[in-house]
Amino acid sequence: MKRLKLNTQRIRSCLKESHLRSTRKRECILEALLTFDRPVSAEELRDRADLPKSDLVTVYRTIEAFLGIGIVQGIPLEDGKTIYELTDPGDHHHHFVCRKCHKTERLDLCLAGELEKKARKLGFSDISHVMEVYGSCEDCN
Amino acid sequence: MKRLKLNTQRIRSCLKESHLRSTRKRECILEALLTFDRPVSAEELRDRADLPKSDLVTVYRTIEAFLGIGIVQGIPLEDGKTIYELTDPGDHHHHFVCRKCHKTERLDLCLAGELEKKARKLGFSDISHVMEVYGSCEDCN
DNA sequence: TTGTTATTGCAAGTTAATTGCATTAATGGG
DNA sequence: CCCATTAATGCAATTAACTTGCAATAACAA
Protein backbone atom coordinates (compact mmCIF):
# COMPACT_ATOMS: atom_id res chain seq x y z
CA MET A 1 0.00 0.00 0.00
CA LYS A 2 1.16 3.47 -0.81
CA ARG A 3 1.82 5.49 2.30
CA LEU A 4 1.48 9.21 2.10
CA LYS A 5 3.43 11.06 4.69
CA LEU A 6 1.10 13.22 6.74
CA ASN A 7 1.44 16.96 6.64
CA THR A 8 -0.81 19.93 6.97
CA GLN A 9 -1.59 19.95 3.28
CA ARG A 10 -2.56 16.32 3.17
CA ILE A 11 -4.63 16.55 6.28
CA ARG A 12 -6.59 19.44 4.89
CA SER A 13 -7.58 17.35 1.95
CA CYS A 14 -8.44 14.47 4.27
CA LEU A 15 -10.78 16.78 6.09
CA LYS A 16 -12.31 17.98 2.89
CA GLU A 17 -12.90 14.48 1.59
CA SER A 18 -14.72 13.67 4.80
CA HIS A 19 -16.81 16.84 4.71
CA LEU A 20 -15.14 18.15 7.81
CA ARG A 21 -14.41 21.83 7.95
CA SER A 22 -10.91 23.08 8.16
CA THR A 23 -11.00 25.46 11.05
CA ARG A 24 -8.49 27.55 12.90
CA LYS A 25 -8.63 25.39 16.00
CA ARG A 26 -8.25 22.19 14.09
CA GLU A 27 -5.21 23.50 12.28
CA CYS A 28 -3.82 24.63 15.56
CA ILE A 29 -4.30 21.24 17.17
CA LEU A 30 -2.94 19.57 14.11
CA GLU A 31 0.21 21.66 14.18
CA ALA A 32 0.64 20.72 17.80
CA LEU A 33 0.29 17.05 16.95
CA LEU A 34 2.98 17.41 14.33
CA THR A 35 5.46 18.74 16.88
CA PHE A 36 5.38 15.56 18.96
CA ASP A 37 7.29 12.43 18.20
CA ARG A 38 5.25 10.41 20.63
CA PRO A 39 1.58 9.94 21.46
CA VAL A 40 0.14 12.50 23.83
CA SER A 41 -2.85 13.15 26.02
CA ALA A 42 -5.56 15.62 25.17
CA GLU A 43 -4.23 17.98 27.81
CA GLU A 44 -0.69 17.92 26.52
CA LEU A 45 -2.09 18.68 23.13
CA ARG A 46 -4.08 21.62 24.36
CA ASP A 47 -1.06 23.02 26.14
CA ARG A 48 1.25 22.59 23.19
CA ALA A 49 -1.34 24.21 20.95
CA ASP A 50 -1.35 27.08 23.41
CA LEU A 51 -5.08 26.95 23.85
CA PRO A 52 -6.92 28.10 26.99
CA LYS A 53 -7.89 25.51 29.58
CA SER A 54 -11.48 25.54 28.51
CA ASP A 55 -10.57 24.42 25.04
CA LEU A 56 -9.97 20.90 26.19
CA VAL A 57 -13.40 20.09 24.93
CA THR A 58 -12.45 21.27 21.47
CA VAL A 59 -9.37 19.11 21.62
CA TYR A 60 -11.49 16.09 22.44
CA ARG A 61 -13.89 16.86 19.66
CA THR A 62 -11.07 17.41 17.24
CA ILE A 63 -9.44 14.16 18.22
CA GLU A 64 -12.76 12.46 17.71
CA ALA A 65 -13.01 13.90 14.24
CA PHE A 66 -9.44 12.94 13.41
CA LEU A 67 -9.98 9.44 14.71
CA GLY A 68 -13.01 9.23 12.51
CA ILE A 69 -11.08 9.90 9.35
CA GLY A 70 -8.21 7.71 10.40
CA ILE A 71 -5.43 10.26 10.69
CA VAL A 72 -5.18 9.88 14.45
CA GLN A 73 -4.84 6.72 16.45
CA GLY A 74 -5.69 6.28 20.11
CA ILE A 75 -3.43 4.25 22.34
CA PRO A 76 -5.03 2.88 25.50
CA LEU A 77 -2.82 2.94 28.56
CA GLU A 78 -2.84 0.49 31.40
CA ASP A 79 -4.64 2.92 33.65
CA GLY A 80 -7.55 3.41 31.29
CA LYS A 81 -6.40 6.72 29.90
CA THR A 82 -5.73 7.21 26.23
CA ILE A 83 -3.01 8.98 24.33
CA TYR A 84 -3.10 9.96 20.70
CA GLU A 85 -0.78 10.17 17.74
CA LEU A 86 -0.94 11.15 14.13
CA THR A 87 -0.90 8.20 11.84
CA ASP A 88 -1.11 7.60 8.15
CA PRO A 89 -4.53 6.30 7.24
CA GLY A 90 -4.41 2.55 6.88
CA ASP A 91 -1.06 2.24 8.55
CA HIS A 92 -2.01 -0.22 11.25
CA HIS A 93 0.57 -0.85 13.93
CA HIS A 94 1.06 -1.23 17.66
CA HIS A 95 3.49 0.14 20.20
CA PHE A 96 5.89 -0.28 23.00
CA VAL A 97 4.95 2.45 25.43
CA CYS A 98 6.97 3.64 28.37
CA ARG A 99 4.72 3.74 31.41
CA LYS A 100 6.44 6.80 32.68
CA CYS A 101 7.34 9.14 29.84
CA HIS A 102 5.07 7.67 27.18
CA LYS A 103 7.92 7.36 24.76
CA THR A 104 6.86 4.82 22.18
CA GLU A 105 8.49 2.56 19.69
CA ARG A 106 6.61 1.27 16.77
CA LEU A 107 5.77 -2.42 16.84
CA ASP A 108 5.14 -3.98 13.47
CA LEU A 109 3.89 -7.24 14.75
CA CYS A 110 0.24 -8.00 14.57
CA LEU A 111 -2.07 -10.97 14.67
CA ALA A 112 -4.87 -9.24 12.81
CA GLY A 113 -5.21 -11.93 10.19
CA GLU A 114 -5.39 -14.81 12.60
CA LEU A 115 -7.65 -12.93 14.94
CA GLU A 116 -10.02 -12.21 12.12
CA LYS A 117 -10.13 -15.85 11.13
CA LYS A 118 -10.66 -17.14 14.65
CA ALA A 119 -13.24 -14.49 15.33
CA ARG A 120 -15.25 -15.51 12.31
CA LYS A 121 -15.13 -19.11 13.43
CA LEU A 122 -16.49 -18.10 16.82
CA GLY A 123 -19.26 -16.02 15.33
CA PHE A 124 -17.82 -12.66 16.24
CA SER A 125 -18.11 -9.93 13.65
CA ASP A 126 -17.15 -6.31 13.33
CA ILE A 127 -13.81 -7.03 14.93
CA SER A 128 -11.30 -4.60 16.29
CA HIS A 129 -8.39 -5.22 18.58
CA VAL A 130 -5.86 -3.59 20.82
CA MET A 131 -2.37 -4.73 21.49
CA GLU A 132 -0.01 -2.54 23.42
CA VAL A 133 3.15 -3.34 25.26
CA TYR A 134 4.04 -1.38 28.38
CA GLY A 135 7.38 -1.15 30.05
CA SER A 136 10.07 1.15 31.34
CA CYS A 137 12.27 2.67 28.70
CA GLU A 138 16.01 2.91 29.06
CA ASP A 139 15.95 6.60 29.92
CA CYS A 140 13.42 6.13 32.70
CA ASN A 141 15.48 3.44 34.37
CA MET B 1 2.62 -26.18 34.00
CA LYS B 2 0.16 -27.66 36.43
CA ARG B 3 -3.11 -25.81 36.50
CA LEU B 4 -5.17 -25.94 39.63
CA LYS B 5 -8.81 -25.29 39.10
CA LEU B 6 -9.92 -22.35 41.18
CA ASN B 7 -12.40 -22.87 43.95
CA THR B 8 -13.14 -21.37 47.30
CA GLN B 9 -10.75 -23.66 49.05
CA ARG B 10 -7.87 -22.94 46.77
CA ILE B 11 -8.46 -19.24 46.84
CA ARG B 12 -8.41 -19.22 50.60
CA SER B 13 -4.97 -20.70 50.56
CA CYS B 14 -3.90 -18.21 47.91
CA LEU B 15 -4.98 -15.43 50.22
CA LYS B 16 -3.16 -16.99 53.13
CA GLU B 17 0.06 -17.39 51.17
CA SER B 18 -0.11 -13.73 50.29
CA HIS B 19 -0.83 -12.62 53.83
CA LEU B 20 -4.26 -11.40 52.87
CA ARG B 21 -7.06 -11.99 55.31
CA SER B 22 -9.96 -14.15 54.43
CA THR B 23 -12.95 -12.02 55.27
CA ARG B 24 -16.66 -12.37 54.91
CA LYS B 25 -16.87 -9.76 52.17
CA ARG B 26 -14.07 -11.28 50.20
CA GLU B 27 -15.67 -14.69 50.33
CA CYS B 28 -18.90 -13.13 49.27
CA ILE B 29 -17.35 -11.37 46.31
CA LEU B 30 -15.47 -14.49 45.43
CA GLU B 31 -18.63 -16.58 45.41
CA ALA B 32 -20.19 -14.01 43.13
CA LEU B 33 -17.24 -14.21 40.79
CA LEU B 34 -17.62 -17.98 40.62
CA THR B 35 -21.21 -17.67 39.44
CA PHE B 36 -20.27 -15.82 36.27
CA ASP B 37 -18.97 -17.43 33.13
CA ARG B 38 -17.83 -14.13 31.71
CA PRO B 39 -15.88 -11.13 32.94
CA VAL B 40 -17.92 -8.57 34.80
CA SER B 41 -17.76 -5.01 36.01
CA ALA B 42 -17.30 -4.08 39.65
CA GLU B 43 -20.94 -3.06 39.83
CA GLU B 44 -22.26 -6.29 38.45
CA LEU B 45 -20.14 -8.05 40.99
CA ARG B 46 -21.50 -6.00 43.84
CA ASP B 47 -25.04 -6.67 42.73
CA ARG B 48 -24.54 -10.37 42.30
CA ALA B 49 -22.89 -10.54 45.69
CA ASP B 50 -25.98 -8.82 47.03
CA LEU B 51 -23.99 -6.07 48.68
CA PRO B 52 -25.33 -2.57 49.35
CA LYS B 53 -24.51 0.20 46.92
CA SER B 54 -21.89 1.69 49.15
CA ASP B 55 -19.87 -1.49 49.09
CA LEU B 56 -18.62 -0.79 45.62
CA VAL B 57 -15.46 0.49 47.20
CA THR B 58 -14.94 -2.84 48.91
CA VAL B 59 -15.44 -4.57 45.61
CA TYR B 60 -12.77 -2.42 44.02
CA ARG B 61 -10.39 -3.06 46.88
CA THR B 62 -11.09 -6.76 46.75
CA ILE B 63 -10.50 -6.86 43.04
CA GLU B 64 -7.26 -5.04 43.61
CA ALA B 65 -6.20 -7.63 46.14
CA PHE B 66 -7.21 -10.49 43.86
CA LEU B 67 -5.37 -8.93 40.94
CA GLY B 68 -2.34 -8.69 43.16
CA ILE B 69 -2.23 -12.39 43.83
CA GLY B 70 -3.06 -13.27 40.28
CA ILE B 71 -6.41 -14.98 40.71
CA VAL B 72 -8.29 -12.22 38.93
CA GLN B 73 -7.53 -10.72 35.57
CA GLY B 74 -8.70 -7.33 34.35
CA ILE B 75 -9.87 -6.92 30.79
CA PRO B 76 -9.77 -3.39 29.41
CA LEU B 77 -12.67 -2.44 27.21
CA GLU B 78 -12.60 -0.09 24.27
CA ASP B 79 -14.27 2.64 26.26
CA GLY B 80 -11.68 2.64 29.01
CA LYS B 81 -13.71 0.64 31.50
CA THR B 82 -12.48 -2.63 32.86
CA ILE B 83 -14.15 -5.94 33.50
CA TYR B 84 -12.79 -8.74 35.65
CA GLU B 85 -12.74 -12.50 35.70
CA LEU B 86 -11.33 -15.24 37.86
CA THR B 87 -8.31 -16.86 36.38
CA ASP B 88 -5.91 -19.57 37.40
CA PRO B 89 -2.65 -18.03 38.50
CA GLY B 90 -0.14 -18.19 35.70
CA ASP B 91 -2.73 -19.01 33.10
CA HIS B 92 -2.01 -16.19 30.73
CA HIS B 93 -4.49 -15.75 27.91
CA HIS B 94 -6.44 -13.15 26.00
CA HIS B 95 -10.03 -12.80 24.88
CA PHE B 96 -12.60 -12.12 22.28
CA VAL B 97 -15.03 -9.81 24.00
CA CYS B 98 -18.49 -8.93 22.81
CA ARG B 99 -18.85 -5.17 22.93
CA LYS B 100 -22.44 -5.46 23.95
CA CYS B 101 -22.96 -8.36 26.34
CA HIS B 102 -19.33 -8.86 27.38
CA LYS B 103 -19.47 -12.51 26.58
CA THR B 104 -15.92 -13.66 26.06
CA GLU B 105 -14.16 -16.46 24.34
CA ARG B 106 -10.73 -17.50 25.35
CA LEU B 107 -7.97 -16.64 22.92
CA ASP B 108 -4.87 -18.76 23.23
CA LEU B 109 -2.77 -16.78 20.89
CA CYS B 110 -0.10 -14.57 22.27
CA LEU B 111 3.06 -12.87 21.16
CA ALA B 112 4.52 -12.63 24.64
CA GLY B 113 7.79 -14.29 23.73
CA GLU B 114 8.46 -12.16 20.70
CA LEU B 115 7.34 -9.02 22.46
CA GLU B 116 9.70 -9.75 25.30
CA LYS B 117 12.59 -10.24 22.92
CA LYS B 118 11.90 -7.11 20.91
CA ALA B 119 11.35 -5.09 24.04
CA ARG B 120 14.70 -6.10 25.42
CA LYS B 121 16.35 -5.11 22.18
CA LEU B 122 14.73 -1.68 22.44
CA GLY B 123 15.81 -1.22 26.03
CA PHE B 124 12.37 -1.61 27.55
CA SER B 125 12.18 -3.61 30.75
CA ASP B 126 9.47 -4.68 33.15
CA ILE B 127 7.20 -5.51 30.27
CA SER B 128 3.51 -6.21 30.32
CA HIS B 129 1.04 -6.22 27.51
CA VAL B 130 -2.61 -6.18 26.67
CA MET B 131 -4.25 -7.78 23.71
CA GLU B 132 -7.99 -7.93 23.46
CA VAL B 133 -10.27 -8.45 20.53
CA TYR B 134 -13.63 -6.74 20.45
CA GLY B 135 -16.58 -7.59 18.30
CA SER B 136 -20.23 -8.46 18.19
CA CYS B 137 -21.06 -11.99 19.19
CA GLU B 138 -23.55 -14.10 17.30
CA ASP B 139 -26.29 -13.64 19.89
CA CYS B 140 -26.00 -9.88 19.80
CA ASN B 141 -26.36 -9.73 16.04
C1' DT C 1 -23.11 37.84 0.04
C1' DT C 2 -26.04 34.85 2.12
C1' DG C 3 -28.14 30.73 3.91
C1' DT C 4 -27.12 26.35 5.72
C1' DT C 5 -24.85 23.56 8.70
C1' DA C 6 -20.79 22.33 11.18
C1' DT C 7 -17.98 23.96 14.88
C1' DT C 8 -17.02 26.39 19.14
C1' DG C 9 -17.41 28.10 23.93
C1' DC C 10 -19.07 27.68 28.24
C1' DA C 11 -21.00 25.47 31.98
C1' DA C 12 -22.61 21.62 33.85
C1' DG C 13 -22.96 16.67 34.11
C1' DT C 14 -21.37 11.81 34.15
C1' DT C 15 -19.11 8.00 35.98
C1' DA C 16 -15.54 4.69 36.97
C1' DA C 17 -12.37 4.58 40.21
C1' DT C 18 -9.63 6.42 44.32
C1' DT C 19 -8.57 8.37 48.89
C1' DG C 20 -8.64 9.66 53.91
C1' DC C 21 -9.84 8.45 58.06
C1' DA C 22 -12.21 6.50 61.82
C1' DT C 23 -14.12 1.98 63.05
C1' DT C 24 -14.19 -2.91 62.96
C1' DA C 25 -12.58 -7.49 62.37
C1' DA C 26 -9.07 -11.23 61.37
C1' DT C 27 -4.99 -13.38 62.67
C1' DG C 28 -1.12 -15.11 65.31
C1' DG C 29 1.41 -15.32 69.60
C1' DG C 30 1.17 -16.26 74.22
C1' DC D 1 -8.96 -18.36 74.76
C1' DC D 2 -7.62 -13.58 74.86
C1' DC D 3 -5.25 -9.79 73.44
C1' DA D 4 -2.37 -6.89 70.55
C1' DT D 5 -1.36 -5.91 66.00
C1' DT D 6 -2.48 -4.75 61.67
C1' DA D 7 -5.38 -5.39 57.76
C1' DA D 8 -10.01 -4.61 56.03
C1' DT D 9 -14.16 -2.03 55.91
C1' DG D 10 -17.68 1.89 55.76
C1' DC D 11 -18.68 6.29 54.67
C1' DA D 12 -18.19 10.49 52.59
C1' DA D 13 -15.83 13.11 49.71
C1' DT D 14 -12.84 13.59 45.73
C1' DT D 15 -10.56 12.82 41.28
C1' DA D 16 -10.12 13.09 36.58
C1' DA D 17 -11.15 12.00 31.99
C1' DC D 18 -14.41 12.63 29.20
C1' DT D 19 -19.25 13.95 27.57
C1' DT D 20 -23.38 16.70 26.71
C1' DG D 21 -26.65 20.58 25.83
C1' DC D 22 -27.26 24.64 23.94
C1' DA D 23 -26.61 29.14 22.33
C1' DA D 24 -23.28 31.78 19.60
C1' DT D 25 -20.12 31.73 15.84
C1' DA D 26 -17.64 30.58 11.79
C1' DA D 27 -16.88 27.81 7.40
C1' DC D 28 -18.36 26.69 3.12
C1' DA D 29 -21.11 26.23 -1.12
C1' DA D 30 -24.19 28.34 -4.08
Note whether A108 and A66 are same-domain residues. no
User: What percent of chain B is predicted at pLDDT more than 70?
Assistant: 96
Note whether B67 and B5 are same-domain residues. yes
pLDDT value of position B99 = 92
Closest C-alpha to B87, from B33, B131, B49: B33
Note whether A59 and A122 are same-domain residues. no
State pLDDT tens for residues B92-113: 999 999 998 999 999 999 999 9
For A36-71, letters b (16+ CB in 10 Å) and e give: bebbbebebbbebbebeeebeebbeebbebbeeeeb
Q: Which of residues 31-90 of A touch strand D (CB under 7 A)?
A: 41-43, 56-57, 60-61, 64, 81-82
Distance B51 CA to C13 C1' (A): 27
How far apart (Å, rounded) are the C-alpha atoms in residues B102 and B79?
Answer: 13
Distance B34 CA to C14 C1' (A): 31
Note whether B57 and B106 are same-domain residues. no
The protein residue nearest nucleotide C8, judged by CA to C1', is A58
Note whether B17 and B74 are same-domain residues. yes
Q: How many domains does chain B have?
A: 2
Q: Which residue of B has its CA nearest to A79?
A: B80
Note whether B3 and B68 are same-domain residues. yes
How far apart (Å, rounded) are the C-alpha atoms in residues B133 and B141?
Answer: 17
Asked whether the predicted pLDDT for residue B1 surpasses 60, the reply is: no
Closest C-alpha to A65, from A8, A128, A16: A16
The protein residue nearest nucleotide D20, judged by CA to C1', is A57
pLDDT value of position B4 = 53
Note whether B34 and B103 are same-domain residues. no
Distance A103 CA to D13 C1' (A): 35
Which DSSP letter does residue A57 get?
H
Cβ distance of B122 and A105 shorter than 8 Å: yes
CATH number at A3 reads: 1.10.10.10
pLDDT value of position A106 = 94
Note whether B22 and B78 are same-domain residues. yes
Report the nucleotide nearest the CA of residue A21, measured to C1'. Answer: D27
Domain-ending residue, one of A65, A89, A113: A89
User: Average pLDDT of B67-89?
Assistant: 93
Note whether A71 and A41 are same-domain residues. yes
State pLDDT tens for residues B8-55: 777 788 888 888 999 999 999 999 999 998 999 999 999 999 999 999
Note whether A82 and A40 are same-domain residues. yes
Say yes or no: A112 contacts chain B, CB-CB below 8 A: no
Note whether A74 and A105 are same-domain residues. no
Domain-ending residue, one of A89, A107, A133: A89
Q: What is the mean pLDDT of chain B?
A: 91
CATH number at A123 reads: 3.30.1490.190
Chain A, chain B: beta-carbon pairs less than 8 Å apart: 105
Residue by residue, pLDDT tens for chain A (141 residues) are 444 567 777 778 888 888 899 999 999 999 999 999 899 999 999 999 999 999 999 999 999 999 999 999 999 999 889 999 999 888 999 999 999 889 999 999 999 999 999 999 999 999 999 999 999 999 988
Residues of the domain holding B113: 92-141
How far apart (Å, rounded) are the C-alpha atoms in residues A60 and A66?
Answer: 10
Note whether A104 and A50 are same-domain residues. no
